[in-house]
Each structure stands twice: as structure tokens, then as C-alpha cells.
């Protein structure tokens, strides 16, 4: 592979990733720290896996299959749909330390993470 071809492939890949990030964040109409984007899980699994987890959770717990209920369980009130990422991390760590976990589709997740997946799933239906 020539140097020119390598640089062309590398720059094309960077552009694709940049457009993807722009498209996802702006299409969803939110910032990167939105509560319903499970940031910690985005590094571990693909979007379809996250959506499947959210769909499964909504099916298993129909009483939490509504956005307003999930917002309330995550401590979000008054239309504040984004929080500091460290706040979500603290909630997730607290869930694990207190044993507040769920096993869904083979994944061991905190309840906070599962609820984020459920919100992500519900948002994708809009």
C-alpha cells in the first residue's frame, strides 16, 4: 500500500466516523451527555445490542415501559434531560455495590444502565 493510498483511506475513515457522530447526536436532537444515551455501554456493545436490551427490559417490566416513568426512576424531573456523566457513573456504581442489577440477554447490568437502554429504545421508536 502506498503512502498516498494509506492517507486517503485514513482520512476517509475519519470523515465517516465524524459524520456518524454528528448524525447520531444531532438527529437525536440532544447533547452527548443526555441521560438516555448509555455512554458507558456504547463503548462495550453496538447500538442494536443496546436497543435489544432496552426492548427486552420494557417487555419484562411493562410498568416501566413509559418514558415518564423511566425519567422519574433516573431522578430526572422538570424537563432536565441531560446530566453530568459523573452523576450517571455514580448511580451505576451505587447500583452495583448495592446489588441492584439485572441480567438481560446475557449481560449483567445495573438498573440505571438498563433503564438508559430502555429510554434509548423508546427514543428510537419516535
Taking residues 89-105, report their average pLDDT.
Answer: 92
- What integer pLDDT is reported at residue 72 of this predicted model? 83
User: Does the pLDDT of residue 33 top 70, yes or no?
Assistant: no
21 and 35 fall within a common domain? no
The helix, strand and coil proportions of the chain, stated in percent and rounded to the nearest 5, come to: 65, 10, 30
pTM of the model: 0.68
User: Does the pLDDT of residue 32 top 50, yes or no?
Assistant: no
Residues of the chain with pLDDT > 90, as a percent, come to 33
7 and 56 fall within a common domain? no
Over residues 35-93, the pLDDT tens digits come to 667 777 877 888 899 999 999 999 999 999 888 888 888 877 655 555 667 778 888 89
Q: Which residue has the higher pLDDT, 19 or 16?
A: 16
Cα distance between residue 76 and residue 78, in whole Å: 7
User: Would you list the DSSP string of 80-120?
Assistant: --B--HHHHHHHHHHHHHTT-EEEETTEEEEHHHHHHHHHH
**Containing domain of residue 9, as a range?**
1-30
- What integer pLDDT is reported at residue 28 of this predicted model? 47
53 and 15 fall within a common domain? no
CB atoms within 10 A of CB 36: 24
Cα distance between residue 107 and residue 109, in whole Å: 6
Number of domains in the chain: 2
Q: For residues 38 and 117, is the Cβ–Cβ distance under 8 A?
A: yes
71 and 24 fall within a common domain? no
List all residues 6 or more positions away from 64 whose beta carbon is below 8 Å from its beta carbon: 57, 58, 70, 73, 115, 118
Q: For residues 32 and 83, is the Cβ–Cβ distance under 8 A?
A: no
41 and 93 fall within a common domain? yes
Amino acid at each position: 500500500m502506498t503512502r498516498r493510498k494509506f492517507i486517503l483511506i485514513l482520512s476517509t475513515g475519519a470523515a465517516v466516523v465524524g459524520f456518524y457522530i454528528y448524525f447520531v447526536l444531532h438527529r437525536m436532537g440532544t447533547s452527548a451527555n443526555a441521560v438516555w444515551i448509555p455512554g458507558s455501554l456504547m463503548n462495550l456493545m453496538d447500538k442494536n445490542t443496546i436497543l435489544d436490551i432496552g426492548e427486552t427490559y420494557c417487555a419484562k417490566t411493562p410498568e416501566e415501559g413509559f418514558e415518564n416513568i423511566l425519567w422519574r426512576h433516573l431522578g430526572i424531573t422538570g424537563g432536565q434531560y441531560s446530566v453530568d456523566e459523573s452523576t450517571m457513573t455514580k448511580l451505576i456504581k451505587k447500583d452495583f455495590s448495592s446489588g441492584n442489577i439485572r441480567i438481560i440477554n446475557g449481560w449483567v447490568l445495573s438498573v440505571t444502565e438498563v433503564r438508559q437502554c430502555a429510554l434509548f429504545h423508546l427514543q428510537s421508536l419516535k
